[in-house]
Structures are given as C-alpha cells and as structure tokens.
Amino acid sequence: MSDRFRVVIVGGGVAGMAIATRLGNSLGRSGKLDITLVDKGFSHVWKPMLHCFAAGTAKNENDRITFISHAAAHGFRFCYGEVAGIDRANKRLKLAPLEEEDHEVLLDERYLDYNVLIFAIGSRANDFGTPGVVENCIFLDNIVEANNFNERFRHAVIQAYGRGTPLDIAIVGGGATGVQLAAELHKALDIGSLYNFTPVTPEMRVTLLEAGPRILPAFPENVSAAAQKQLEALKIKVLTSTMVSGADEHGFMLKDGSRVDAQFRVWAAGVKAPDVTRQMDGLECGRGGQFLVRPNLQTTLDDNIFAVGDCAFISDNPLAPTAQVARQQAHHLARYLPGFIFNQKPVPDFKFRNRGAIVALGDYNGWGAFADGKTFGGGFMHGLSARLGHMALYRQHQFELYGPVRGMIACFTDWLDGFVRPPVRMD
C-alpha cells in the first residue's frame, strides 16, 4: 500500500474529472499525492450533451474520454466500481461487488483507504415517488441510459418508416434537458429523412409536459416564451401547468384525469442525488439526498470528506445543479486542497460567479441569458450566437481535460469526421 497521502474521488463527471486531472497534473505525476478516481462506468462524457447522444445527433465514440487512458496520461489511477458505503472512523471506502448480467460475481466487495474523500457523484432525475415512473419511463442521467434510448429510438423509427405509422414520444420536464431533447429528436428525424429510407417520412408526435407555468424556468420569461413558440413551430406540443399523477406502459396519467399516450416515455423532471448518499455512515443529507456541506465544500460532520457539484447542498447559499456550478467548485477545491493537505490550511469558502446560461434547440434556435437578466440569441440567423456559445462551452471542457494540443486535435478530428460519417447515428 502506498505511504503517500491518499485522495479518493468518487464520480467521473464534470467535477470529478476536473479535480482528478488538475491534482494529477500538479501533484500526482510528481508522486506527492496518491490520487484515485472511482466510477461505475469506463468513460466520461459532458452531461449537457446527453440529449444529443440520445437522439443520435452526436457521436459519443468521439466525445467520450476513457478513464483508464486519461488517468495514465494525467498522474492518477482509475478504479472501476460503484460506491456502497464508507467507514469514517477507519477512513475506508466500500465498493459494491461487481456482477455480470447473469449475476455471476466477478469481484467481491472491495475497500479503498483514503485520507481525503471527495464525492462528485452528480444527480438523477427525481420521480417524486410518482407511481409507475421507474418501471415505465426512460431516464437520461448517464451515457448508458442515453445509448439505450438511442438504440430503442432508432428501432422505433425503422418500424415507423416500414409501417407508415406515427411515432409518439412524451417527455416530462420542461427544463433544459427536456426542451433540448424534444428539439434534438426532431432534428434527428429531419436529417434521417434526407437519406431517402422510404418515400414518406413518418410523423413524429412529441409532447412536452411541464408542471410549472412555463418551460425553462431558470431563464427569463422572454426566453421561455420564445422557446415554446419555436417548439410549437416544430409541431411539438407543449403542455404547461400539467401535473403527472402516474405512468404505465402506454403513457402518462394526468392529475386532471386525462392521459397522454406515448410509445416512448421520458422522465426529465426534478433533481435528486443518487440514493447511495444516505448510506454514507451518517453524513447529513438534505431533502433531495444531497450531502449537506459547509460553504467551503466540507461535509458538515467530517472535515476529511468533501462534496461538489449536484450531490452537494450548501444550506446557507443553495446553488442550481448545473455543470457551471460543478466546474467552478471543482476548480476551487483543486486549488486549495493542496494547502489543506500539506499545510493544514483551511479551505476557504466557495464563491459562485454566475456566467449565465445557454440553451440550444438543435439547429433551429438558441438563447443565452447573462447573470443580469439580459438575453441574446434567437431571431438573427436562428440563434446562431447562442448555439455557437453552447458548443464553445463543450470545447472549453475538452481543452481543460486534454490540454491545448490534444484539445485542438480533438476539434480537428470531429471536423474531419463530419465529412465521412452521416450527421445522425444510423446504425
């Protein structure tokens, strides 16, 4: 076992990868820290692009980063596994047994020792206990779920082409994920129709259900109104102030007694932490399961355990569960954690700097909102500025992880790939 100070990071999303990469580059390569990243998958993707992977309009083979190769290049180790609990007294992280699909155990329960533990396990959509949702709906919280959706979507499109029948999709949740997915699915079918699969493109009927009075509630009202107008122009039905009371294999039941039937039922509403947070040896959690943390991102009951991103909740200053918040918190912790480790300096309080938000509706339109409420995009060239801004954020993320040289190569590779592959996944 290594005698070096051990930092274990659980979760390879935006925050976890940023912390592991920065600490690995500065202290892992030199041997000053033993850094381990734990994740239940083998690759990292930028979560704000999951709706593109689900629709097949982005090629996740190019856009995902393999943990093993990235760890080797940046001075940290990768451990494949799913966290099952911790022993805070002995500073040990427990990993669940690793099983195959037939439940054959490949690896028994394992343990990792740590000196500092960082949780960056993200969040999931919140079904709020609505009957039938877990059993009958598709979630898009990770790349596995996005790929599963895409496979089912492509098969359903083939059936719709062959039978000449419509394809019904209902999406619950009018936030950025639900709105962008609705537009991206429409874009996928538009692109697919150019390949002359059959003479007649099937009808795709998409319904977006939002419990609140407007879609995109995190954006100014003028953006919400413009986005709804754009979706309706694409023949996407938008239902606001619509409460879902249950789901079955044929669709959604609404609180007013009516139904919305759909072959595909997607749940993209609400946010909660993974259920495992409540099994972490008594660490305090909020209503949504997030770890309660102090303003400096330390958990309230243990100075050696930190939480960042969607799985963390600062009671004194709650922040939205966005990639922007996760990224800034990761940079803050990567900057000040070495002083905490080597010089016993307290980690200062985190201060969020709101850079605004961007929503892009495929190639159809896009808007951005600054922190002061001013907006941009829409109208001129169908919101090109906002859509380019959304892509710029993704490229920024790539450059942070890859570095400038490999980041440029990744951009160039994506550009070349556009000449030899169809712009939508066909197989």
**Of the candidates 305, 273, 315, 309, which has an alpha carbon nearest to the alpha carbon of residue 290?**
273
Report how far apart, in Å, the C-alpha atoms of 156 and of each of 56, 58, 203, 264 are: 13, 19, 12, 9
Strands 204-209 vs 237-239: parallel, antiparallel or unpaired:
parallel
**Of the candidates 148, 15, 11, 144, which has an alpha carbon nearest to the alpha carbon of residue 82?**
11
In words, the CATH class of domain 129-270 is alpha beta
Domain 6-123+273-343 of CATH type 3.50.50.60: yes
Helices 143-163, 176-193: inter-axial angle, 10-degree rounding: 40
Q: Specify the length of the chain in residues.
A: 427
Q: Please state the domain extents for the chain.
A: 6-123+273-343, 129-270, 355-421
Strands 251-254 vs 259-261: parallel, antiparallel or unpaired:
antiparallel
**Of the candidates 23, 20, 2, which has an alpha carbon nearest to the alpha carbon of residue 10?**
20
Q: Are 375 and 356 in contact (CB under 8 A)?
A: no
The yes-or-no answer to whether 6-123+273-343 and 129-270 have a common fold is yes
Q: What is the pLDDT along the chain (427 residues), one digit of tens a residue?
A: 457 899 999 999 999 999 999 999 999 999 999 999 999 999 888 888 888 888 887 765 667 889 999 999 999 999 999 999 999 999 999 999 988 777 788 888 999 999 999 999 999 999 999 999 999 999 999 888 998 998 998 888 888 877 778 889 999 999 999 999 999 998 887 766 545 555 566 788 999 999 999 999 989 899 999 999 999 999 999 999 999 999 999 999 999 999 999 999 999 999 999 989 988 989 999 988 999 999 999 999 999 999 999 999 998 888 988 889 999 999 999 999 999 999 999 999 999 999 888 888 887 888 888 887 788 777 654 567 777 777 787 788 778 887 777 778 777 777 666 665 655 555 5
